[in-house]
Amino acid sequence: MYTERVIAEFTNPENVGEMADADGVGEVGSPTCGDIMKIYLKVEGDRIADVRFQTFGCAAAIASSSMATRMIRGMTLAEAWSLSNGDVVESLGGLPPAKVHCSVLASDAIRAAINDWRTRQGLPPWDAGSRGCCGEAEPENG
């Protein structure tokens, strides 16, 4: 049921672990299957210089975290913000329909970490609900 890409990502995930000096941390949980995902960001300028994750969850959640962190390294915060779970699923070659919600956690955790960073900088958080709508906080392609 899982693609080879998902299995490879799950069995050999990248960027796993804690980051002691993270500039932004985001943690989200899935009420549906109990996955918990924590993302740590190291930010330089407006770019993600480094990223780590800790995920307690199913294979889809871990594969999605690994793929998502791999994708956002080096991106600007606005680019990382607009990464959708669809982008992650596509890079994984698809997920079983019942597991797609697990990939949403990765983009949600990244957004939570970005907003944690923004809050620490004294910036207003971006609106996660509407995925980037209004005012000066609007991401480039939001």
Tell me which residues are annotated as active site.
33, 102
Tokens 């913000």 sit at which residue? 81
In the complex, minimum distance from the CB of residue 137 to Zn ion, in angstroms, rounded to a whole number: 30
**Angle in degrees, 0-180, between the axes of helices 59-72 and 4-11, rounded to the nearest 10:** 80
Q: Does 23 bind Zn ion (CB under 5 A)?
A: no
Q: Does 33 bind Zn ion (CB under 5 A)?
A: yes
Nearer to Zn ion, 43 or 102 (CB): 102
Count of residues that interact with Zn ion, criterion CB under 5 A: 6
C-alpha pair distances (Å), 3 with each of 96, 114, 126: 9, 30, 34
Helices (H), 12-99: 59-72, 77-81, 85-91
> Looking only at residues 55 through 114 of this chain, which bind Zn ion when binding is defined by CB under 5 A?
57-58, 61, 102
In the complex, minimum distance from the CB of residue 32 to Zn ion, in angstroms, rounded to a whole number: 7
